[in-house]
Structure formats: C-alpha cells, structure tokens
Structure 1
Amino acid sequence: MSVKSAERVLRVFELLSQVQHGLTIKEISEALSFPQSSTSGLIGTLLKEGYLSLDSTKKYKLGPKLIQIGSAAMESLDISSQGIPHLKSLMEDVQETVFMAVLSEKELVYVAKIDNNRSIRTTAQPGSQKPLYCTGLGKAFLTFMPDRQRKNILDNIELIPITKHTITDKKILEEQLDNFNELGYSIDDEENEEGLFCLAAPVYGVDHTLQAAISVAGPKERMIRQKDYIVERLIHTSKEIAVSIGYTSMNS
C-alpha cells in the first residue's frame, strides 16, 4: 500500500469515528474530497477485510476488526491501567478468575483478564467479543445503562441460545435486569458457557456514566459456596476503580 493510500485509509477511519450513523461512499468521498471511483475501491477492500461494516441503508461504519485493535490499545487507557491493580487484589481475595469489559455499540469487549492458579477454561480473552444478553458483564451493562439505550439494544438483537440455560424470552430477561438493578450486580448462570457462573458489577466514571463492568467467574458450585463474599468484594472493587478514574459520589 502506498503512503497516499495509507493516509486515505486513516482519514476514512477518523471520519467514520465521528459519524456513528455511518456514511455512503458518495458522502465519504465528498467529505474527504477523494475521487468517488478510488473511494469505492478503498471502501470495498476495507469492508472485505472487516475494518468497515455495511448496514441496510448502504452506509458504512467502523467494522469489528477495529474493535479488536482498539481494545488492545485500551491497555494504555485509564480504565484499564487504573483497574488492573484492583482486579488483581480482587482475584487474590476470591481466588477466581476476574474480568473487565467495556461496551462497543451492542457488543461486549473484554479489556482485562486476571487468571487465578485454578483458572477455569473460558473463551473470554482480552480483545474478544461476547453478546450482552447472556454474559454477566453484558447484563451489567444492560442493567445499569439508561433505559432508552437498553430498549434500543434489546429491540434490535435476537436472543440466540448459546447454552440450554440461555434466556431467549425478552420479557423474562427484562424482568431479570430489573431485579439485578435492585441487587446492584448481575448474574450469568451457565447462560454463555456450561458450568460457568459469573457475578458482575458496573464501574462508573467521572461524569457518572457507565464506563466498564467487572466480573468474577468460576465453576458454579465453587462460586455459589462463597457468593456473598464474592459479591461484597466485587462491589467494593468496582467502587474503588470508579474512584480511581475520577468518580465522586453525588452526595460528597
């Protein structure tokens, strides 16, 4: 790829990062003053490679491959770097695997995983994506995000069964999320991986918006035995991370 082509790719990424609803090829070429014919070829290549996605209105948006690249860069961001020491302490306290994730549109993206010496087997790794409706972390986002955002996501996703325990009825899921809101944490009871039980809590930022979620996951029987203790440490840790990234209580 020539330097000129590389520069054009970067400018396309920068443009689309500022326009969440996406743009057509014509709109991209006009906004960047690129010839439409060469823009079409460039966009086609980026779409094929997964760096862009195309919606039903023929508008292009940033694609899934960029999420993986971006999540790797998150290691240098406050939410990850500030959170890691607290996550390690949580892992040592509960002796189970600990995760942190952020929200990328309608998907969960893992940004940290702290293994315990008796770690469980799981497909969740930093940079990987998971659905919101069947994971503890995803349910934490759905539970504590603004109602309008939750409705928009649930109205536009299909609840596909991942295991025999996955909730596929939206009404039942919404009732569960309301219950989690009262509890202050969310639960994944073998809904994403057989045998895996997960407890998750939200992490708020300086502007009191949901910035991340953290979780503790392990074999169901082992997790249930110390559930109350895990919940106490989990919520304590989520508040510590929130403070470390600038959150202050509205009452302070």
Structure 2
Amino acid sequence: MSVKSAVRVMRIFELLTTHPDGLTIKEIARELALPQSSTFHLVVTLFEEGYLQQDAGKRYRLGAKLIQIGTAAMESVDISAQGVPYLKRLMDGVQETVFMAVLSDDQLVYIAKIDNNRSIRTTAQPGSRKPLYCTGLGKAFLAFMPENERRKLFDRIEFVRFTKNTMTSREQLEEQLKQFTELGYAIDDEENEEGLFCLAAPVYGSDGVIKAAISTAGPKDRMLKRKDVIAGQLLETAGKITEAIGGYVQPPRIKGGF
C-alpha cells in the first residue's frame, strides 16, 4: 500500500527534474493536480530539510542534498554491479549465503544477497536495514571507517538487545573492533539473529575509505569448522571487488589510535 504523501514527494521531485529554473508552489500544485495547501506544506518541509532550494522569486528547484543521495545511490549500484560476479564465486567457494551492504545514515542497507542451496532463514534481504553494532557487516563499517565518522556514529547508537549474544556496551564493542582491525574482518556471533554466525570484510573506494562490506553467513557450528578458510576467501573477494571499483586500502592505523 502506497503512502499518499510519499508518492506526492516523489512526484514533486520528478516534476522539478524537468524544470531546472524552478516552479512556484502554485505551479507545482497545478502541474500535479494537487491541493495548494498540502503542496505548500510538502514543499516547505522539503526546503527546510535541504531537499529543495528557493530563489528570490520563490521558485523551488532541486536541492543540494539530493546530489549527495544520488551520488551514494550511483556508488551503491556500481558497487553491486561490479561485485555480484565475485560474490557468486565466493558463494560457490564457501557454500554459504553471501551478502553485500552499504551504509545509509547510521544503518546498514543490504544491496545484494547470493543464496546457497543450504542457506538458513534470515531476515536480511536486499533493501532491508539493520543496526551496525550487532551485525558482521555493520561492525565491518565501524571497524574500518575513519575514526571521526565512527565516533559520530557511536554517539547516535541506541543499543538494543536482539539475542542473548547482542553486545550492548559501547566500551566492549570498541575493544572488539580493535581486534577486528587486526584480523582484517568482523564477526557477528549470533548477535542479531539466533543461529546465524557471520564473517564480514570491508570494500574500499578510490579514496581509500570503506564504501561497502561483504559477508558470509551460516549456522555457527558449520561456519566455525571452516572459519579460517572462509575468512581467507572472504578477504580475497573483498580485495578483488575493491580493485574492480578502482579502490585501494589505506595503511593500517597505528595501534592505540582507535
């Protein structure tokens, strides 16, 4: 079921893409056959949030914030398109489910999933969102992103327990992330979903900053039996995807500078 106000916002964006010089609220309402009062509230809200800009003649155009979103979307599409062939090979090699995700605000968004014929049930699907602190992919972002960004994210995290293994202490998580930076990958030990054990590694962009993360996930007993082998193939695949998108890995941070 579609939400009327959300549909109207999308129609406003689509309309303004064809009017680079902008339109007034009255013109927007007329073009879209919308009530002027509700159009006013939608447009003003989008303007106040930075999604639209206004000129001296009170004409509204697409705002700079949409450039950031569009750029992020383009990067996600490109990373997914470049990465899927490597993810399929990784799935064939480890015989477990493989994922790819990107960061959106302070959450994880899944952009690819390659199922194995013995995959276990999981709520993680392309397009779904998950917290950072209790998923392997999310912890890969926290471990390998620039320190200043990580600290900002930590200040906004609300720790909620999903399973008995969910880590709800910032101090403990920070200590764990230090270990992950040395390993080169992150671990989710049944912290978001019961029965699911996950290894996750970073994919870097052309600026040397993490742009995505990939993971392999499966039942804990099965994953632990081949943990080192799976980790090796995971890291190799992350490196190949990094190369495919023109990325590189920054030199490791100095110990103690977390």
TM-score for both structures, normalised by structure 2: 0.73
- Equivalent residue for 1:60, pick from 43, 49, 54: 49
CA contact (8 A) 1:74 1:80 kept: no
Distance between the aligned counterparts of 1:190 and 1:100, measured in 2?
18
1:126-149, Cα deviation, whole Å (9 max, x unpaired): 000000000000000000001111
1:186-235, Cα deviation, whole Å (9 max, x unpaired): 00000000011000000001221111000000000000000000000000
Match of 1:244 in 2: 244
1:41 partner SS? helix
Q: Any residues of structure 2 matched to 1:3-152 within 5 Å, and which? A: 8-10=12-14, 34=25, 39-42=39-42, 60=49, 77-152=77-152
2:187 partner SS? strand
Match of 1:225 in 2: 225
Paired letter, 1:8: I
Q: Any residues of structure 2 matched to 1:164-183 within 5 Å, and which? A: 164-183=164-183
Paired letter, 1:203: V
2:102 partner SS? strand
Give percent identity, aligned residues only.
Answer: 59
Match of 2:196 in 1: 196
2:181 partner SS? helix
Distance between the aligned counterparts of 2:16 and 2:143, measured in 1?
34
- Name structure 2 gaps, 5 residues minimum: 27-35, 52-65, 252-258
1:207 partner SS? coil
TM-score for both structures, normalised by structure 1: 0.75
Distance 1:250 1:113, change over 3 A: closer
How many residue pairs match? The answer is 214
Paired letter, 2:141: F
Distance 1:140 1:127, change over 3 A: same
Distance 1:211 1:118, change over 3 A: same
Paired letter, 2:149: Q
Paired letter, 1:241: I
1:224 partner SS? helix
2:99 partner SS? strand
Match of 1:24 in 2: none
2:178 is aligned with 1:209: no
CA contact (8 A) 2:91 2:116 kept: yes
1:76-95, Cα deviation, whole Å (9 max, x unpaired): 82201110010000000000
CA contact (8 A) 2:185 2:200 kept: yes
Distance 1:120 1:250, change over 3 A: closer
CA contact (8 A) 1:203 1:214 kept: yes
Distance between the aligned counterparts of 2:176 and 2:226, measured in 1?
22
1:86-123, Cα deviation, whole Å (9 max, x unpaired): 00000000000000000001010000000000011000
Cα deviation, residue 40, structure 1: 4.0
Q: CA RMSD in A?
A: 3.3
